[in-house]
Amino acid sequence: MAIALKPPESGNDISQALACLTLQDRLFRWLETQCHQLGGFWQAAVGSGVGLACFATHGPTHQLAELVALYDHCQQGLSAQVAACWEGDTPSPAFTLCAGLDSGRVIWLPERRTIDPLGDVTQVALAMLAMAEPGELMISLNASQHLPPAFDLQARLTPRLLSADGRIARRALALASGDGGRVTRVPSLLGRDAELRQLRDALARVALGLRQSLLVLGDTGIGKSALMIRFRECLQHEDVALFWRQTTRLSSQTPYAVVQSLLRWHLGAEPALASLEALIDATPTLAKIGAERRRLLLDVLVREVTNREAAEEAVELVSHLTQSLILRLTATRRPLVMIIDDLQWLDEPSLKVLHNLQVRLPIHSSLLLLASHQNREMPSIRLNWDQQIALGRLAPSSRPRCSTCSPGVTA
């Protein structure tokens, strides 16, 4: 993936231009750090203001998923990083981020720290970058064939053509920020009727007041995400409160990611200090905590660094807060469905909170906790599940001949 950072026009102001170059260098070091945290390789100085992020793990589908996750993560954090790195007296400049993405087999020369010296993939990625508007990620025709079953991306994908002299030179998909204002079709799911029926049966038990925890297991690309997305679409016609959390390897970098997402979903906005104070005051088990423990709880919820000595106490405090919130959400007997896709990428504090919820929530709570997990990844925290659904390969007669909802580009 070729990534470009574009500073604003500085005109003839040399001092402003030099300050922007210094800021750009710091931003590229930040991008390199994010890439390395995902296990990727970073090649800088490909061109003026351009860097390359490369991944070679888990097959082409997961390469693409991780690159898209990296782009989204950097796009969302760019403004805050610019403000943190800017040292000028004037307001910080508005940098824009755009990228071009391609996939394929390349040569890696570790002694020269060089990847793709022949440019088979790099040149296409740079061509995609040249087509991208500010804030866009352009995905090549070849890479679009490796799109994972992340149907949530469909509303953000738009076909793009580059033509010259009346002929189509390149085809691509443009991934824009936001939802794109489009309504996607419900994905068709073939061959998983029995598994979908198990999820519906679990929801029926929750509606009767019996708490349920289900885990969907399977190899990479077997259809875990597709099954859970299909079940989520079925829930749109049910009287339930639905919380959905999709994770990537970047999720492991954010402590209490599930709790923060749950609070954001419940409040309808980023949790502000006043909102968190109100939630703490409304939690009976936290009513008598001292000022120091209250400060600790607020610190972990606003993503402040917590020392190891206070880590276990922080988990307890967050668990009490989350349990109280779930009990209030399910007090009306309206079921709460929590779906977490790719549980193996979840951070350890979130796993500990989920374990505490499974142990401490009353059995008559109207809660359905549904998660998916790769077979080969062993969780660091052992969770308790009422049912485990293992997905195997479909029989040849059940395999779909084509995907009716794939957002790929046709040649």
Helix, strand, coil tally for the chain in percent (to 5): 45, 20, 35
- Return the residue matching tokens 């390149």: 170
Among the ranges given (182-196, 258-272, 334-348, 391-405), the one the predictor scored with the smallest mean pLDDT: 391-405
Q: What is the pLDDT of residues 80-95, one digit of tens each?
A: 888 888 887 778 888 8
Measured distance CA(280)–CA(287) in Å, rounded: 7
Q: Is the CB of residue 391 less than 8 Å from the CB of residue 222?
A: yes
pLDDT surpasses 60 at 150: no
Looking at every residue in the chain, the average pLDDT score rounds to 82
Q: pTM value?
A: 0.71
Count of beta carbons in the 10 Å neighbourhood of residue 41: 16
- Extended strands (E) in 279-401: 336-341, 367-374, 387-390
Mean pLDDT in residue range 278-300: 89
Q: How far is residue 280 from each of residues 225, 243, 288, 289, 302, measured CA to CA in Å?
A: 34, 21, 10, 10, 14
Mean pLDDT in residue range 311-329: 92
Q: Which residues pair with 3 in a beta bridge?
A: 51, 99
User: Which residues, 6 or more positions from 207, have their beta carbon under 8 angstroms from its beta carbon?
Assistant: 335, 366
Confidence bin at 402 (pLDDT 50/70/90): very low
Phi then psi for 108, rounded to 5 degrees?
-125, 120
pLDDT score recorded for residue 143 = 82
Measured distance CA(217)–CA(323) in Å, rounded: 26
Q: Which domains, ranges and CATH numbers included, belong to the chain? A: 2-175 (3.30.70.1230), 193-272+324-398 (3.40.50.300)
Q: What percent of the chain has pLDDT over 90?
A: 26
Rg (CA), the chain: 23
Confidence bin at 389 (pLDDT 50/70/90): very high
Measured distance CA(296)–CA(268) in Å, rounded: 24
pLDDT score recorded for residue 146 = 64
Mean pLDDT in residue range 281-292: 88
Mean pLDDT in residue range 249-276: 88
pLDDT surpasses 50 at 409: no
Q: Residue 342: is it exposed, middle or buried by C-beta count within 10 angstroms (0-12/13-18/19+)?
A: buried
pLDDT score recorded for residue 244 = 92
Encoding tokens for residue 29? 């070091």
pLDDT score recorded for residue 110 = 77
Q: What is the DSSP letter of 221?
A: T
